Amino acid sequence: MITVSLCMIVKNEERILARCLDSIADLMDEIIIVDTGSTDATKQIAGRYTDKIYDFTWIGDFAAARNFAFSKAGMEYVYSADADEVLDEENREAFRLLKETLLPEIDMVQMYYANQLSHGTIYNFDKELRPKLFKRLRTFQWQGAIHEQVNLDPVIYDSEIEIQHLPENNHKDRDLAAFVKRTAEGGRLDKRLHNIYAKELFISGEDKDFIEARDFFRQSCHDVERSVDEIKEAACVAARAARICGDVEDFFKYAMKVIACDGCAEICCELGEYFLQKQDIDEAIIWFYNGAYETESILNIRSGGDIPLAGLARCYRAAGNEEQAAEYENLAGEWKIPDEA
């Protein structure tokens, strides 16, 4: 049986920390809690489960805090959890069985993160696999009889364990503020973070968030080191921000960049909204229809689903066609996001 260190970073989690730890504490061989500045009873609650509680001065870097927590672990594997996670009894038993049967060559175990859409921020699926259990020390081996090389790819096992994500609220404001701060300071976002920022805006951003992000994504559109996919997602954000600001020239400039890259459902919806606002109903219908049926979403899966369908309903209602409007309203209401990525 493998041994597991639980590593958590927490701050002001007094309302939910016990719920999380009650569901997993007995499955762990060691519990590491790293507190990043709680002002409530979080540390006292953590003390009921472990004496390995460490303070870490928050520097605005989640990776630094998690790396610090991992550095304190001493078991064979490290399980990374957040305070808003819960394992139900069925998945507790699956975790127990995993500990007993995990093959020693496995470097990483992925588990399903479920209930993503309740307070979704960057989520396009209600359930998706995430890396959760990590071998603390990896063994490197040479491979290949000729031109041998060290195998650096982790051996990953996709388990059926399902973790319930039960957040108390949406962390959108916190996350977007962190992006604004980092980009304002000149920090470059790698491809992954660039995508997450754009996704978070399209899934849960408000008008003010798009306006704050506008300059950064306009610059991204002209960054020669960005890939076509990054430029496409940046242009979607820049176009939405321009539409919000009433900058027609900029709106079409960035919308056409996306169309030139084969388009996407997000920009079709933006063009639909623009023409609907201009009361050009026929043109708006064309673009909402393309969003719903002819293109794929790249940032918010709803841009290829209920959003353009609802847009079509608004168009037909504006045109006085109540029957067609009701039909698209029903389609929008029946549309569902797929369960998993």
Six token digits for residue 156: 């990953």
Alpha-carbon distance of 313 to 301, in angstroms, equals 19
Strand pairing report for 142-143 and 85-86: unpaired
Among 3.20.20.70, 3.40.50.2000, 3.30.1510.10, 3.90.550.10, name the CATH number for the domain at 4-165: 3.90.550.10
Q: What's residue 16's pLDDT?
A: 95
Q: How confident is the model over 277-290, as pLDDT tens digits?
A: 999 999 999 999 99
Six token digits for residue 221: 């559109």
Please name the amino acid found at residue 257.
K
Predicted model pTM: 0.75
Q: What's residue 155's pLDDT?
A: 92
What DSSP letter does each residue of 251-286 carry, written as one string?
Answer: HHHHHHHHHHTT--HHHHHHHHHHHHHTT-HHHHHH
Q: How confident is the model over 121-138, as pLDDT tens digits?
A: 556 656 888 999 999 998
φ/ψ region of 71 (left if φ > 0, alpha if ψ in -120 to 50, else beta) reads: alpha
Q: What's residue 281's pLDDT?
A: 97
Residue 33's beta-bridge partner residues?
Answer: 8, 53
The C-alpha angle with vertex 220 and arms to 215 and 222, in degrees rounded to 5, equals 105
Residue 30's beta-bridge partner residues?
Answer: 5
Domain chopping of the chain, boundaries: 4-165, 172-334
Please name the amino acid found at residue 37.
G
SS3 label, residue 5: strand
Q: Which residues of the chain have pLDDT under 70?
A: 116-126, 140-150, 170-171, 339-341
Alpha-carbon torsion (224, 172, 6, 104), positive or negative: negative
- Do domains 4-165 and 172-334 share one topology? The answer is no
Strand locations in 124-282, DSSP E?
A: 127-135, 142-143, 149-150, 156-165
Q: What's residue 201's pLDDT?
A: 95
Strand pairing report for 77-80 and 127-135: antiparallel
The CATH number that domain 172-334 falls under is: 1.25.40.10
Q: What's residue 136's pLDDT?
A: 94
Q: State the DSSP H helix or E strand holding residue 80, giving kind and residue range, or none if neither.
A: strand 77-80
Alpha-carbon distance of 264 to 236, in angstroms, equals 9
